[in-house]
Amino acid sequence: MSNQPIRDVCCRGFCFRDRRLEMPQRSPLLLLALAALLQGLSPQLAQSQANLPSTRDTLAPPLDNPLPIITPAPLPPEELEIQPGPTPAPTTAPTPAPTGTTPDSITVERFEVLGNSVLTEAQIEAVLAPFLNRPLSQVELIQAANALTNFYIEQGYVTSGVIVPEHDFENGVVKLQVIEGSLEEIEVLGTQRLRPDYVRDRLRPALTTPINRIQLLEALQLLRLDPLIASLTAELSNGTETGTSLLRVQVEEADSFSVDASLDNRRSPSVGSWQRRLQLQQLNLTGRGDRFNFGYGNSQGSNSIDVGYSYPLNGRNGSLGLNFSYTGSDIIEAPFDVLDINARSTVLELGYRQPLVQTLRREFALGVSLLHRRTQARFIEELDAPFPSPGADDEGRTIVNELRFSQDYNQRGDRSFLGLRSQFAAGLPILGATTQDEAPDATFLLWQGQAQYGRLLAPETLFLARSSVQLASRPLVPLAQFGLGGSSTVRGYRQDVLLGDGGWLASAEVRLPLLKAGQRQASQLQLVPFFDLGGVFNRGDRPEPDPSFIASTGLGLLFESGDRRFSGRVEYGLPLVEVSNEGESLQARGLHASFRYRLF
């Protein structure tokens, strides 16, 4: 064999020509196994905003992690109500002296309001209109100032007030001086690991001059939703100077460290569907609200690690994140295990996310990130040969550099929530990206959108609908394709049973209360009927998958313990469209399961 050129080398019934493998027949299951292998990266890489994990076990397209499910709930409780300090008291009236009036009264034709920066002229005129063009006593002048003070308070400016400075009354004009309350200091009490500046930075945007109680209360309630805060109370008191206030905030920190163990059958059967996973997370690594996570996953044919770190850059929760992921996989599914197919994949991501609108009800954020993804697949141990894959080079490598731009919108209410996400991705021909004369290769443009809507139909009955879509400009390499099948897309089918350059997904389920137990009946078991459907399509000359559409319906059981330490989900999906060569795994039989336990 050593005297033959490499194109004539044969092993196990396969031959090489020009360093590329020629196979007698391409099995759909083999291609599916290869796609899963080439995409077998950790799902945690794509988590920069926020902060919920992906259920896909293969490297997903740009929007690889689903939108988080936000359970509708009332706003934080009223114990966050701030206690305002006293407002400045009006002084006595001016020295009256206009001709034709008695010393005890003056006729005011116009009020000149000084120091106002928030009220409109129309608002001021409406408040002071009852005091114009009639004789006013000194007491009534003070009442006019008090009326304007009360209007400030009604608008939320609880530390602002109006006084009548002493001056000579001229030409029917009385001056009123507004003292708009400002903040002297924010005093943060009760913090342990968390630095006080973390709290101050998130409250300062709401503490403009004049201080507005409504804005401050919303900022406090928004801070209460922060995972680092268990509870807080606040009180406003007088500062050391007139018109200034001291804000005292009492904080109780939440536990920021957690270790979770999980078991699920969400991996592709090609590398072993049952995965064990250990996830460590510290939400406050250095006290600045910076987050660190480390995860290790293992299935029969794969091992993966992922490491991530994000640092808050400002008080509006803008953050810079760096993530790294590595996966090593071997095909173990018969009959292709004899080929010794293996792949090694790494992903490095640098991303920035900035909320532009952040209120109790709504959030709108923009994000930009750069990803470097490298995958290499080889097979037949004796030859250590590159395994052919669409878009790969002669060594079986696929290198993709993606620039992503994302937009997220979330809206929550007492009984409903809405989540929308849009993301554009461009494959850039830089940093050694794999390029070919013809598509597919590492240069592409695509867009993905996701939507999720939930509504409480009854106190413990949740309706949930979700959808996603992907559009591409040209044929894509496998790691950028849209996948359908598995517990996170169309249940009842094996993971990524369909792959295409573009695709769509629609799903709906209802979570019905079935059983409550434990202390205060906090543990609950829910019945989850569902219906999923979706389709894929290809660009260019690529043949369309057959079938290109799948659908399923089924039932699931969802359990969560009262202390939230344990949760489990078991679902059975009945396929409504037959797909050949799905194999004999539990996924192929329509059964999906996942279990999680919080160790710490």
- Indicate the residue type of 173: V
Q: Going by DSSP bridges, is the β-strand pair 244-253/182-189 parallel, antiparallel, or unpaired?
A: parallel
Which residue type does 483 have? Answer: G
DSSP state letter for 243: T
**Residue 24, pLDDT score:** 37
- Residue 596 makes CB contacts below 8 A (sequence gap 6+) with 260, 261, 262, 566, 567, 568
* Nearest-angstrom CA–CA distance, 55 and 568: 14
Give dist(CA 305, CA 294) in Å, integer: 7
Q: What is the dihedral of CA 541, 546, 547, 549, to 10 degrees?
A: -10
22-28, long-range: CB < 8 A, 24+ apart: 27/336, 27/581, 28/580, 28/581
CA 297/CA 260 separation, integer angstroms: 12
| Per-residue exposure over 259-283, b if at least 16 CB sit within 10 Å of its own CB, e if not | ebebebbbbbbbbbbbbebebbbbb
Of 238, 240, 278, the residue nearest 262 (C-alpha): 278
> What is the pLDDT at residue 497?
92
b/e map of 128-165 (b: 16 or more CB within 10 Å)?
beebbeeebebebbbebbbebbebbbebbbbbbbbbbe
User: CA 430 to CA 403: how far, in whole Å?
Assistant: 11
Distance between start and end Cα atoms, the chain:
58
Distance of CA 303 to the CA centre of its chain: 27
Chain CA centroid to CA 162, Å: 45
87 vs 457: CA distance, rounded Å: 46
Residue 363's CB is within 10 A of a number of other CB atoms, namely 20
Ramachandran region of residue 142, left (φ > 0), alpha (ψ -120 to 50) or beta?
alpha
Q: Tell me the C-alpha distance between 242 and 182, whole Å.
A: 9
3-state secondary structure of 216: helix
Helix count and strand count (H, E) for the chain: 5, 30
pLDDT in tens, 493-536: 999 999 999 999 999 999 999 998 876 768 999 999 999 999 99
CB hemisphere CA count around 357 (13 angstroms): 9
The number of CA neighbours under 13 Å toward the Cβ of 379 is: 26
Distances (CA, A) of 377 to 346, 403, 497: 12, 24, 20
Below-50 pLDDT ranges, the chain: 1-64, 78-80, 85-87, 89-103
Amino acid residing at 331: I
Question: Tokens 């059967």 map to which residue?
Answer: 269
CA atoms lying within 13 Å on the CB side of residue 458: 6
The reported pTM is 0.82
Cα angle, residue 396 at apex, residues 395 and 402 outer, rounded to 5°: 115
| CA distance linking residue 212 with residue 51, whole number of Å | 30
| Residue 572 to residue 349: CA distance in whole angstroms | 35
Q: Please calculate the CA angle 297-299-304 and round it to the nearest 5 degrees.
A: 35
**CA-CA distance, 151 to 214, in Å (whole number)?**
14
Amino acid identity of 496?
Answer: D
Q: According to DSSP H, which parts of 449-513 are helical? A: none
Structure tokens at 146: 């008090």
E-only strand ranges, 301-361: 302-312, 319-330, 342-358
Determine how many CB atoms are found less than 10 A away from the CB of residue 430. Answer: 12
And the tokens for 552? 């399923």
Going along the chain from its start, the domains and CATH numbers come out as: 6-75+255-598 (2.40.160.50), 105-179 (3.10.20.310)
Do 394 and 371 form a contact (C-beta atoms < 8 A)? no
What is each CA distance from 527 to 56, 223, 417, in whole angstroms?
Answer: 23, 34, 21
Composition of the chain by helix, strand, coil, percent to 5? 15, 45, 40
Phi and psi angles of residue 217, each rounded to the nearest 5 degrees, phi first: -60, -40
Query: Strands 302-312 and 319-330, how do they pair?
Result: antiparallel
What integer pLDDT is reported at residue 436 of this predicted model? Answer: 83
Q: Is the peptide bond before 478 cis (omega within 30 degrees of 0)?
A: no
Q: Cis peptide before 68, with omega less than 30 degrees from 0?
A: no
Q: How many residues are recorded in the chain?
A: 600
